[in-house]
């Protein structure tokens, strides 16, 4: 499944790049996102929200199609269970970005692709457990250009859906973030 998702994401990005690169001026950008990330372990555990963030690099192939690569992490937090375990996560996301400009400065967009997340759980009296898994990711956002080269935005992304983190439970990772981007 992991290999399939990587191949599918790469194929989509190559297809968009080859079709649009000939007719359009590709516009690269870099950015930062910070916000609240929720890790939901299910199985009797309560959802846990904590601070997280990511760095991103992307290409806008034209006003309607883009692609993004993100690398991020979620601050260590306490899993709300009887054992008082703590968890943290790191991730890399590869995303296609369909977008629709609603004015010269404002754009709404979607994100679809995959995320490889590593979740580490530390529990008192038990060994540290970590699991890496690749899952489909999706989300939506809004971006506003405050200057020609600078934009800010807000977005919601589901990075993974019940990624296996240990043999006993799984984790769903979502994030609501504020973003800032520099367009070259």
The string of pLDDT tens digits covering residues 124-154 is 777 777 888 888 999 999 999 999 999 999 9
Q: Which conformational region is residue 162 in: left (phi greater than 0), alpha (psi within -120 to 50 degrees), or beta?
A: left
Domain covering 2-183 assigned CATH 2.40.160.20 in the classification: yes
Q: Which segments of the chain are extended strands (E)? A: 27-40, 48-62, 65-78, 86-101, 106-122, 129-145, 150-164, 170-183
Q: How confident is the model at residue 100 (pLDDT cuts 50, 70, 90)?
A: very high
Q: 156-181 pLDDT, tens per residue?
A: 999 887 655 555 556 788 999 999 99
Mean pLDDT of the chain: 82
Q: Which residues pair with 67 in a beta bridge?
A: 59, 96
CB 180, CB 152: distance < 8 Å: yes
Collapsing DSSP to helix, strand or coil, 129 comes out as strand
Q: Write down the domain spans for the chain.
A: 2-183
Q: Residue 7: is it exposed, middle or buried by C-beta count within 10 angstroms (0-12/13-18/19+)?
A: exposed
Q: Which residue has the higher pLDDT, 121 or 156?
A: 156
Most confident of 6-15, 70-79, 109-118: 109-118
- Give mean pLDDT, residues 1-22: 57
Please tell me whether the overall predicted TM-score, pTM, comes out greater than 0.75 for this model: yes
CB 131 within 8 A of CB 166: yes
pLDDT, tens digit, 9 for 90 and up, residues 33-56: 999 988 776 665 566 778 899 999
């Amino acid at each position: 499944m992991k290999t399939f998702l990587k191949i599918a994401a790469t194929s989509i990005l190559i297809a968009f790049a080859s079709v649009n690169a000939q007719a359009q001026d590709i516009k690269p950008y870099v950015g930062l996102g910070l916000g609240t990330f929720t890790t939901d372990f299910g199985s009797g555990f309560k959802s846990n929200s904590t601070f997280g963030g990511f760095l991103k690099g992307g290409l806008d192939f034209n006003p309607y199609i883009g692609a993004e690569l993100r690398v991020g992490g979620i601050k260590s937090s306490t899993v709300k269970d009887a054992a008082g375990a703590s968890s943290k996560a790191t991730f890399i996301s590869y995303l296609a970005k369909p977008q629709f400009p609603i004015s010269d400065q404002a754009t709404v967009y979607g994100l679809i692709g995959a995320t490889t997340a590593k979740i580490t759980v530390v529990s008192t009296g038990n060994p540290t457990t970590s699991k890496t898994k690749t899952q489909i990711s999706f989300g939506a956002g809004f971006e506003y250009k405050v200057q020609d080269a600078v934009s800010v935005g807000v977005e919601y992304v589901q990075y993974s859906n019940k990624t296996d983190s240990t043999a006993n439970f799984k984790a769903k990772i979502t994030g609501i973030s504020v973003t800032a981007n520099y367009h070259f």
